[in-house]
Each structure stands twice: as C-alpha cells, then as structure tokens.
C-alpha cells in the first residue's frame, strides 16, 4: 500500500489530497465534513473498511469557513465541485477503475447529492452518505428523485433527522438507511457513552461493508 500526498492547483488555489493506493481496480473518493477530518472516527474507520475491502482511497482536503453554510445550496455545490471535480477527473484519467464509490460526511454530502447523484455519468457508482443534511429541501428532494444505489447512516438525535423525510426515503428501494438510536451528528451516543458509541459505529461499518458487496 502506498500513501501519496498530492496537491492540485485549481483557479490559483492549492487543494491537497491524499491518494492511498491499495493495488485495486476499485476506488473510493471521500469528502469530509465541516471540521470533521479524515482522522476522526467515522471517516477513519470508513477508510479502514474501504482498504479492508481492497479499494484505493482518495481523501480530498478542502477547507471552508462556517459562513459557507449560509450560502444557497446551489452555491455551496458549485464552490465545492470546482475544487473536487478536477481532482477526480485527474485520478480517473490516470487509472481506469472498474468501480467507483463516493463517500461524504455532512458538508461533504452536498456535492455528492446535488452533483454526482444528478450526473448520469456516475449512475453505476455507489454513494455513501454519512449524516447528510436532510434539513435542506433540495437535498431531500434530490434523494427522493435519485436512482443511485445509496447508503445513509444518520443519528436519531441529529438535527437533520426529520422523521417524515426519513420515512419517505425509506420507501425507496435503491436507498438503504441505517438510523442510529440516541446518536448525534457525529454518531456519538447521547448522553455520552464511549462503549455504546464505539458499538454503534461498529454497526454502521458492518452495514457499510454489506452495502459494498
């Protein structure tokens, strides 16, 4: 396994990314959350799950201030896609992967849902949405209209856990939802309980691995 730190210059701005080569014909592109980096539990163990299942992994290290969430969703999608898409294109131009998976956490689910899930070019790609921002109408509406194969994990104490929206998405046969009882937006249990949080995260990783197969 090779871990390469690379940088792309996009519109004069350097965007670093980590390319973990596992000798695979499958790749997973990962998009982190607002301040929720790849070293934190959900993304750390998602990376481990991907490597265990013989995927190459790409971590894209964009960075935005809190004000980005005050913008309209279409503007957030445009800003993030401008930095993400050239890196993805460059990786795919240099290696012909048979399978492509896209995984996002929170903020990172916005370009996945409003970008890739609207792009027929990636219709055969699996989408993994960890704590997606379902409180945004366009995010919810795009999920309802999408035919992508997708896996969602969300805590029942997450502000984005909106019961009627969850139930509507659960009616779709192409989307699997794992609701995590008592878990917040970081999938930590409330009131805080270390062992239960670890156990809950383990269950999410188990379901994620099943989804990959």
In sequence order, what DSSP letters do the residues of 35-47 get, joined into one string? S--TTSHHHHHHH
Instruction: Please compute the mean of the pLDDT values over residues 87-94 and round it to a whole number.
Output: 95
Query: How confident is the model at residue 119, as a pLDDT?
Result: 85
For CA atoms 103, 109, 110, 113, the dihedral sign is positive
For residue 86, give the H/E element and its range: helix 73-94
Enumerate the β-bridge partners of residue 105: 130
Q: For residue range 129-163, list pLDDT tens digits in order.
A: 999 999 999 999 999 999 999 999 999 999 999 99
Q: Round to whole Å and give the CA distance between 160 and 199.
A: 22
- The single residue listed with the structure tokens 């779709």 is 172
Instruction: Please compute the mean of the pLDDT values over residues 77-91 and round it to a whole number.
Output: 96
* Torsion angle in degrees (nearest 10) through CA of 203, 150, 139, 82: 110
Query: Domains in the chain, please, with CATH?
Result: 2-212 (3.40.50.1820)
Tokens of 134: 């379902």
Of the candidates 132, 96, 87, the one whose C-alpha atom is nearest the C-alpha of residue 114 is: 132
| pLDDT of 120 above 90 | no
* CA angle centred on 130, ends 189 and 166, rounded to 5°: 85
Instruction: Please compute the mean of the pLDDT values over residues 104-126 and round it to a whole number.
Output: 93
Q: Round to whole Å and give the CA distance between 25 and 192.
A: 40
pTM reported for the whole predicted model:
0.96
């Amino acid at each position: 396994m090779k871990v390469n730190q690379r940088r792309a210059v996009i519109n004069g701005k350097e965007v670093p990314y980590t390319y973990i080569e596992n000798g695979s014909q499958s790749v997973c592109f990962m998009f982190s959350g607002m301040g929720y980096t790849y070293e934190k539990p959900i993304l750390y163990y998602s990376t481990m799950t991907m490597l265990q299942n013989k995927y190459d992994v790409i971590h894209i290290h964009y960075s935005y201030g809190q004000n980005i969430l005050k913008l309209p969703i279409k503007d957030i999608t445009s800003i993030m896609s401008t930095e993400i898409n050239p890196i993805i294109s460059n990786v795919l131009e240099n290696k012909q992967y048979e399978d492509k998976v896209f995984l996002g956490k929170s903020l990172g689910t916005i370009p996945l849902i409003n970008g890739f899930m609207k792009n027929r070019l990636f219709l055969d790609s699996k989408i993994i949405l960890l704590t997606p921002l379902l409180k945004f109408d366009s995010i919810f509406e795009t999920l309802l209209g999408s035919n992508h194969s997708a896996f969602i994990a969300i805590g029942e104490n997450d502000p984005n856990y909106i019961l009627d929206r969850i139930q509507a998405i659960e009616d779709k046969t192409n989307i699997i939802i794992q609701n995590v009882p008592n878990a917040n937006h970081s999938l930590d249990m409330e009131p805080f309980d270390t062992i239960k949080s670890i156990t809950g995260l383990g269950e999410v990783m188990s379901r994620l691995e099943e989804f990959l197969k």
